Structure 1
Amino acid sequence: MLPLGAVSSRCLWKRPAHDLLRRSLSSRPSWAKAKPKVPTKNDPNVPRDKWNYNVSPLIQTSDSKHEELKMVNANALENATEPPRGVKMLVRDFIEDSLYNPNYGYFPKQATIFNTDNSTVNFESLRDSVEFQEAVGQKYAAYGADKHDGPGRQLWHTPTELFKPWFGRAIAQCLVAEYLLKYFPYEDFIIYEIGAGNGTLAMDILDYLREEYPEVYERTRYNIIEISGSLVALQKQRLSKAHPGVQVIHKSIFHWKTKEPAPCFFVAMEVIDNFAHDLVRYDLRTMEPYQGIITIDSQGDFDTVYTPVTDPLILEFLELRRRLKHPLPVNRLMQSSGPLREFYLSLPFAPNLSKEEYIPTRLLSLLRTLRNHFPRHRLLLSDFSSLPDTISGVNAPVVQTRFRNVTVPCSTLHVRQGYFDIFFPTNFERLRDMYEYIISHVPRPSSNSDPSLPMRSTPLTTNSTSMLLGDDYFSSHRPSNRRSPLDGVASASGLPVGERKSSVFTHSEFMETYADLSKTSLKNRENPMLDFYKNVKFLF
């Protein structure tokens, strides 16, 4: 196993953290500054506190005790009131338990979404982006100072809150343009949003529709799917009076079982970065994949062990990657040459496993849910395409917390459950390939399939041909085989057969298309809604 690394720090606006804070978090206790001794098994002098203690990676100390630990998953831990001990779990279950456990998870108990209440930034009065950041900093300061005896208020912001209502209105314009083009007036305007936070995006979208498209607003059904009980209460409180038609459903999207037969729009803004990932490494001798399992012993100490892949969801993702021909995180020459791998492994201190890779298995679960339960949806999704200060590994996450009003990133996933945010970047081009492949491969209807599902996408279609035309008709990863559009035959997204069902946009490209940029322009003609969030992309 790799040793735990030192903790570094940065704050929200990339200002360097105070050296004293860094030393206070990464310095070793007095016993660790003495001449190191090789620890032996059952040595009573070996400190039990391992927060700042690392056994040399050159010393083999591992044993098979992890085999005796009970295997659990995040669902089994939902009723736990404290982080578990004496257990082991897949990495995705560890992340889900850390972030979403109802009793000690990060989002239910620690996270606070930055909220400007009813105030908005007066962009036209600000000189430049420096003044804009100062204005946002003052709003952060209004939350007060953190306590000094533990993790501080886990405060984080989204573009929805920073640029309200103009960001939400851009999203609304995108959705309503598609609705008017494809479905009005024959279908209702149905929107599903997951991870709605404070409900600000829903409020801004519905306000915009009521003001600019009243005839569409009357036909709008807005549904929020929210996993956090506290946020459910907040969303209902904020939205019920202003927009009584909003329905807030307290449920995880991964537990969703209801089928929506009508055309709808599915919105996920700044959500999938917190979707749990699994950890995979490859045996460099055989190229066999191994799944990462986090172990927690009776004293609460963490470790990671690797076993041959047996989890069905990991296996499904690896098979999907093979079908899409996405490259493995191993040098191609190494993959193709057994003798070269043997030579590499013969070198001193050469690792026998590839670098850690975090794979988006929960994102795969979401795509399956969309295919199975929202067969006629159109997806609008936005999130980080890259991140700074990630831990080691391919597609690795940022693991961070706030301490004394400073955001502190860590260098390991082995952190106390509930006290740290864990979020990942997304490769949007690969996501698009995955999405189109999964949506295109519709399961064959069984004899007891739901008869309420229509065989045609809208009343506008004139051809009664079934949408189930075969897997290859919709394939986007082999353009030469793509079927040309057929009259009257539409895909699940409402597009003709053969067309791409989604496109990837940078944040600025999307805003230039749908936003009223005059509302967020500064005196010097800078536009923070275009210039900020360079590491964010959209899928639509």
Structure 2
Amino acid sequence: MLPLGAASSRCLRKSLSHDFLRRPLSSTPSRAKFKPKAKVATKNDPHVPRDKWNYNVSPLIQSSVTKHAELKMVDANSLESATEPPRGVKMLVRDFIEDSLYNPNYGYFPKQATIFNTDNSTVDFELLRDSVEFQEAVSEKYAAYGADKHSGPGRQLWHTPTELFKPWFGRAIAQCLVAEYLLKYFPYEDFIIYEIGAGNGTLAMDILDHLRDEYPEVYERTRYNIIEISGSLVTLQKQRLSKVHPNVKVTHKSIFHWKTKEPAPCFFVAMEVIDNFAHDLIRYDLRTMEPYQGVVTVDAQGDFDTIYTPVTDPLIKEFLELRRRLKHPLPVNRVMQSSGMLRNFYLSLPFAPNLSTEEYIPTRMLSLLRTLRRYFPRHRLLLSDFSSLPDTISGITAPVVQTRFRNVTVPCSTLQVRQGYFDIFFPTNFERLRDMYEYTVSHAPPESCGPDPLLPMRSTPLTTNSTPMLLGDEYFSSHRPSNRRSPLDGAASASGLPVGERKSSVFTHSEFMETYADLSKTQLKNGENPMLDFYKNVKFLF
């Protein structure tokens, strides 16, 4: 099939090895720029190097249609047993990203990433003069990791607010969760928490320490579950947590492979996880406004291309349909969308592209929402991540692709980089995510008919029985506020009280911390508070 367009990678894919500071201390850190020019090469060019990682074919030179058609279509799941990055294959962009980040044998997280860990030490905020001194203190802790080797990739070292502000950040998260639990479920239900991407286990430790010290009666009812994809982190989490908190259970599994049903009310926590969720790439044919999916091709020499084919992937189709239902705008000018004549005129201009700007869509995030709806039907989601990022590659909602080489953070200008050496992370539009989340959890899957089979009968004082309530639903006055979801059993309140889970809201990082954190613990001598002032590009969904 002839693709509508093709894009060769524009970054030298081996001249840089990789590793660098992933999490900026502020929303606009200074970084070294790395935007090498693509080298135009032809088959008979005597200057073409034998190592084909070191050059790129011009995007103006069209690849053979037959060559792309002969490539084997694979996905990230089928590549899990591969010990080397594959060649002679093609895959959706999300599978290329997942394989690059999570492949157990060469992926970035299993092999390269190191989470900044202050061990048992904490920052003495009250002794620091100002934010400059705070950053110097953090830099000293980084220096303890040593310099990168000059012969290869540096250490993929990055930090999180959990580590920088421990234990106070984790205690703020604990306070948010326990307040909701005490209000709605105590003492009738256990306090059940699920966390994905728990890293070093620091957040879990700080949450459980806070519950043990401040809410011992709640701690006795607490069950903390970690779902972790990295085998090395699973081992570390068990070592750190099992002896101190025996109520922790660590499961080595991807959340996308989760099949266990949790019928009880629970809290689902994801702190700085979804930025590494794989996205798909789509572009629109400007003549027909038909969407096309991006496919990464890897030839026998290991060189990359991106081709665009009509959308056939079910998950991409589901996302596009959900966007249509939510009336989220397309990444094409509205006037252009509505006027075929204007589009034809634009396409007649010299060098006018026949496809719209690249757009990265959060298909794996949609997979998570479906998993929550199916296997955690009575959950409450607490999620935090980047709402914007500097140094992204070109495109709408495009990621940062970066590495570290010789102690220097190096952003790249393309997604097509050697698998496993680069961190790839995306910003999140939290307002659109909230809309997606609320719609997904409020609507039963299409195949579902009648009572949800994943909700077994549970005899607790909070168990609802829809039948008697439904019989009187038309007789009694009922109240269905717009800020609440419909109850799971479909019945409104016969007493007139609002029922159903409260809908989620979006908070800035500082708004969330002002609500739940003990800010006196992180205030500096001059009155600055880095837990409020830093991470301006982070938001919460709760």
Q: How many residues align?
A: 516
Aligned twin of 2:3: none
Matches of 2:172 and 2:30, distance apart in 1: 34
Q: What is the CA-CA distance between 1:47 and the residue it aligns to?
A: 3.9
SS of 1:383's equivalent in the other structure is: strand
Aligned twin of 1:345: 347
Q: Is contact 2:20–2:156 with CA below 8 Å preserved after alignment?
A: no
Task: Pick the aligned partner of 2:122 from 116, 120, 123.
Answer: 120
Q: Out of 440-449 and 500-509, give the one that drifted further.
A: 440-449
Aligned twin of 1:290: 292
Q: Is contact 1:263–1:457 with CA below 8 Å preserved after alignment?
A: no
Q: What is the CA-CA distance between 1:150 and the residue it aligns to?
A: 1.4
Aligned twin of 1:154: 156
Task: Pick the aligned partner of 1:394 from 396, 403, 408.
Answer: 396
Aligned twin of 1:108: 110
Matches of 1:294 and 1:455, distance apart in 2: 51
Mapping of residues 347-366 of structure 1, within 5 Å? 347-366=349-368
Aligned twin of 2:147: 145
Task: Pick the aligned partner of 1:496 from 494, 499, 513.
Answer: 499
Q: Is contact 1:95–1:276 with CA below 8 Å preserved after alignment?
A: yes
Alpha-carbon spacing, 1:389–1:489, altered in 2? closer, same or farther (3 Å): farther
Q: Is contact 1:433–1:477 with CA below 8 Å preserved after alignment?
A: no
SS of 1:425's equivalent in the other structure is: coil
Alpha-carbon spacing, 1:478–1:255, altered in 2? closer, same or farther (3 Å): closer
Matches of 1:2 and 1:457, distance apart in 2: 59
Matches of 1:93 and 1:462, distance apart in 2: 42
Mapping of residues 324-339 of structure 1, within 5 Å? 324-339=326-341
Q: Is contact 2:9–2:415 with CA below 8 Å preserved after alignment?
A: no
Aligned twin of 2:134: 132
Matches of 2:496 and 2:87, distance apart in 1: 55
Aligned twin of 2:323: 321
Mapping of residues 43-442 of structure 1, within 5 Å? 46-442=48-444
After superposition, give the CA deviation of every residue in 1:149-203 in whole Å (9 maximum; x if it has no partner). 1110000000000000000000000000000000001000000000000000000
Q: What is the CA-CA distance between 1:222 and the residue it aligns to?
A: 0.4
Give the AA of the match of 1:110: Q
Q: Normalising to structure 1: TM-score of the pair?
A: 0.89
Matches of 2:197 and 2:139, distance apart in 1: 25
Q: Is contact 1:428–1:537 with CA below 8 Å preserved after alignment?
A: yes
Give the AA of the match of 2:456: S
Matches of 1:488 and 1:239, distance apart in 2: 45
Q: Does 1 or 2 have the higher relative contact order (CA < 8 Å, sep 6+)? A: 2
Matches of 2:433 and 2:331, distance apart in 1: 16
Percent of residue pairs identical: 79
After superposition, give the CA deviation of every residue in 1:274-312 in whole Å (9 maximum; x if it has no partner). 000000000000000000000000110011011000000
Q: Quote the RMSD (CA, aligned, Å).
A: 3.0
Q: What is the CA-CA distance between 1:442 and the residue it aligns to?
A: 1.8
Q: Is contact 1:455–1:464 with CA below 8 Å preserved after alignment?
A: no
Matches of 2:230 and 2:219, distance apart in 1: 27
Aligned twin of 1:486: 493
Mapping of residues 460-475 of structure 1, within 5 Å? 464-465=468-469
Q: Is contact 2:92–2:294 with CA below 8 Å preserved after alignment?
A: yes
Q: What is the CA-CA distance between 1:452 and the residue it aligns to?
A: 1.7
Q: What is the CA-CA distance between 1:234 and the residue it aligns to?
A: 0.2
Q: Is contact 2:172–2:513 with CA below 8 Å preserved after alignment?
A: yes
Q: What is the CA-CA distance between 1:447 and the residue it aligns to?
A: 8.3
Alpha-carbon spacing, 1:465–1:272, altered in 2? closer, same or farther (3 Å): farther
SS of 2:307's equivalent in the other structure is: strand
Unpaired runs of 5+ residues, structure 2, are 1-5, 474-479
Q: Is contact 1:465–1:489 with CA below 8 Å preserved after alignment?
A: no
Q: What is the CA-CA distance between 1:501 and the residue it aligns to?
A: 1.5
The alignment status of 1:458 with 2:462, answered yes or no, reads yes
Task: Pick the aligned partner of 2:511 from 509, 512, 519.
Answer: 509
Matches of 1:487 and 1:128, distance apart in 2: 56
Matches of 1:197 and 1:10, distance apart in 2: 17
Q: What is the CA-CA distance between 1:453 and the residue it aligns to?
A: 4.4
Matches of 1:332 and 1:477, distance apart in 2: 32
SS of 2:242's equivalent in the other structure is: helix
SS of 1:77's equivalent in the other structure is: coil
Matches of 2:72 and 2:65, distance apart in 1: 16
Q: What is the CA-CA distance between 1:489 and the residue it aligns to?
A: 9.7
Q: Is contact 2:271–2:385 with CA below 8 Å preserved after alignment?
A: yes
Alpha-carbon spacing, 1:453–1:382, altered in 2? closer, same or farther (3 Å): farther
SS of 2:68's equivalent in the other structure is: helix
Q: Is contact 2:8–2:304 with CA below 8 Å preserved after alignment?
A: no
Aligned twin of 1:449: 453
Alpha-carbon spacing, 1:77–1:385, altered in 2? closer, same or farther (3 Å): same
After superposition, give the CA deviation of every residue in 1:239-263 in whole Å (9 maximum; x if it has no partner). 0111011000111000000100100
Matches of 2:387 and 2:469, distance apart in 1: 39
Q: What is the CA-CA distance between 1:6 and the residue it aligns to?
A: 5.5
Alpha-carbon spacing, 1:113–1:344, altered in 2? closer, same or farther (3 Å): same
Matches of 1:313 and 1:208, distance apart in 2: 40
Give the AA of the match of 1:458: L
SS of 1:241's equivalent in the other structure is: coil
Matches of 2:292 and 2:496, distance apart in 1: 43
Alpha-carbon spacing, 1:310–1:455, altered in 2? closer, same or farther (3 Å): farther
Matches of 1:529 and 1:389, distance apart in 2: 23
Alpha-carbon spacing, 1:464–1:152, altered in 2? closer, same or farther (3 Å): farther
Alpha-carbon spacing, 1:489–1:536, altered in 2? closer, same or farther (3 Å): farther
Task: Pick the aligned partner of 1:528 from 504, 527, 530.
Answer: 530
Give the AA of the match of 2:379: H
Q: What is the CA-CA distance between 1:16 and the residue it aligns to?
A: 5.2
Give the AA of the match of 2:430: F
Q: What is the CA-CA distance between 1:407 and the residue it aligns to?
A: 1.2
SS of 2:138's equivalent in the other structure is: helix
Q: What is the CA-CA distance between 1:61 and the residue it aligns to?
A: 4.6
Q: What is the CA-CA distance between 1:484 and the residue it aligns to?
A: 12
Matches of 1:181 and 1:526, distance apart in 2: 33
Q: What is the CA-CA distance between 1:465 and the residue it aligns to?
A: 3.7
Q: Normalising to structure 2: TM-score of the pair?
A: 0.89
Q: What is the CA-CA distance between 1:486 and the residue it aligns to?
A: 3.0
Q: Is contact 1:437–1:476 with CA below 8 Å preserved after alignment?
A: no
Give the AA of the match of 2:523: S
Matches of 1:361 and 1:247, distance apart in 2: 28
Q: What is the CA-CA distance between 1:15 and the residue it aligns to?
A: 6.5
Matches of 1:332 and 1:199, distance apart in 2: 47
Alpha-carbon spacing, 1:451–1:191, altered in 2? closer, same or farther (3 Å): closer
